[in-house]
Amino acid sequence: MNAISASAPADLKAQFPGLAGGWHYLDTAATAQKPQAVIDATVRAMGADYATVHRGVYARSADMTLAFEAAREKVAGLIGAPAQELVFTRGATEAINLVAYTYPRKGRVLLSTLEHHSNIVPWQLAGWQVDVCPLTADGQIDLDAAEAMLTPEHTMVAFAHVSNVLGSVLDAPRAAELAHAVGAKLLLDGCQAVPRLAIDVAALGCDFYAFSAHKLYGPTGIGALWGRAELLGAMPPWQGGGAMIDRVSFAGTTYAPPPQRFEAGTPAIIEAIGFGAAADYVRAIGLDAIHAHETALVAELRAALRARNDVTLFGPEESAGIVSFALDGVHSHDLGTILDEEGVAIRAGHHCAQPLMEHLGVPATARASFGLYSEQADIAALLRGIERTRRIFG
């Protein structure tokens, strides 16, 4: 029995309405299912508690404003950051775009081969000169190569903290040291890390950290950017409108300090409340317990797949919650379709990481990804589905 199931007061899976009926959900890296506690928090926020924030002088608006800012504190606290350094965005994609477009020292940015498209395209669109760090043989970002590549012309390094395809975990403190040695800043894409690792941005040494709510068992449509106060303070507004201003006149406008400077318009009030509830939920379970639970499941699945002579595994052995593989002679889309008939949901495709697929020499992979609600029965169902697929394709 794993650490989570042994210590939890009730079956965690039963707390997720989306998992009712024996569905084997192995696509948490794409989006996590939502616990009832988060659903209830968003329903209350949309219903009995609903009002606008920051503008109303009536009691319910004041209460909702307090709840909204309390959610910011909860989300910031999850990564060990002060609330005044956490910007609510529409997701991690918008958070990375915000930095790419507003960071005042545009120059060269060092990315890696394994990055998600959301950590590639924004830099290209914003006019940065992109360099690409290779990977080690086991699918880690090659920091020795990064050290050799970095020059004073680089003003930003942007790496995935955890790969959404390989599950490889970056040595973030070393990456920060290398970036800072040439005067660059380090942005981490934390989408896959925040739901399964205990994060402390100060200990990581990074300068920006981007992540989303929906992979953290929270709502879609909201994410966060953490940035060091002095860096956010030097960045101009990206979008204009209400809430991000100090004073507006036709002669000129002055702007609010961060984080409000980057939160133009009526915010995602309900989603922020849900984000805060999700942070509470995983904190109550414990990120260390979640990581240990997922690590055990990864080891079990990798061992079972390695025992077959028709499976290619990708990524390091000690991956964080994610196992990518290919079944010989079977396209991942076909495998995913047959598994769906067996009540098993995996991700099949390029996972918004086409440069990585080219590096791996495959058009796509099958990806099984775990969450805090995953269990050995999910692995067993996946293996049965693979065996059925093998029989169909010969």
Task: Dump pLDDT digits (tens) for 204-222.
Answer: 999 999 999 999 999 999 9
pLDDT tens digits for 250-304?
A: 999 999 999 999 999 999 999 999 999 999 999 999 999 999 999 999 999 999 9
CA 361 to chain centre: 25
Please report which confidence band the pLDDT of residue 11 belongs to, taking 50, 70 and 90 as the band edges.
confident
CB contact set of 278 (below 8 Å; sequence gap of 6+)? 34, 35, 38, 213, 216, 217, 218, 219
**Helix, strand, or coil (residue 50):** coil
CA-wise closest residue to 344 among 385, 372, 390: 385
For every residue of 250-283, DSSP letters joined together read: TTEEEEPPTTGGG--SS--HHHHHHHHHHHHHHH
Distances from the Cα of 105 to the Cα of 14, 89, 142, angstroms: 49, 22, 25
Active site residue 352: yes
Please report which confidence band the pLDDT of residue 6 belongs to, taking 50, 70 and 90 as the band edges.
very low
Of the residues 133, 191, 206, 352, only one is catalytic, namely 352
Q: Partners of 156 in the beta sheet?
A: 109, 185
pTM (whole model) above 0.85: yes
Strands 24-25 and 344-345: parallel
Structural contact between residues 224 and 272, judged by C-beta atoms closer than 8 angstroms: no
Task: Give the pair of three-digit tokens for residue 107.
Answer: 């120059």
Q: Provide the residue count of the chain.
A: 394
pLDDT tens digits for 316-365?
A: 999 999 999 999 999 999 999 999 999 999 999 999 999 999 999 999 99
Domains of the chain: 3-30+286-389 (3.90.1150.10), 38-284 (3.40.640.10)
pLDDT tens digits for 118-150?
A: 999 999 999 999 999 999 999 999 999 999 999
Model pLDDT, residue 10 = 43
Burial class (CB in 10 A: 0-12, 13-18, 19+), 241: exposed
Question: For residue 9, is pLDDT > 50?
Answer: no
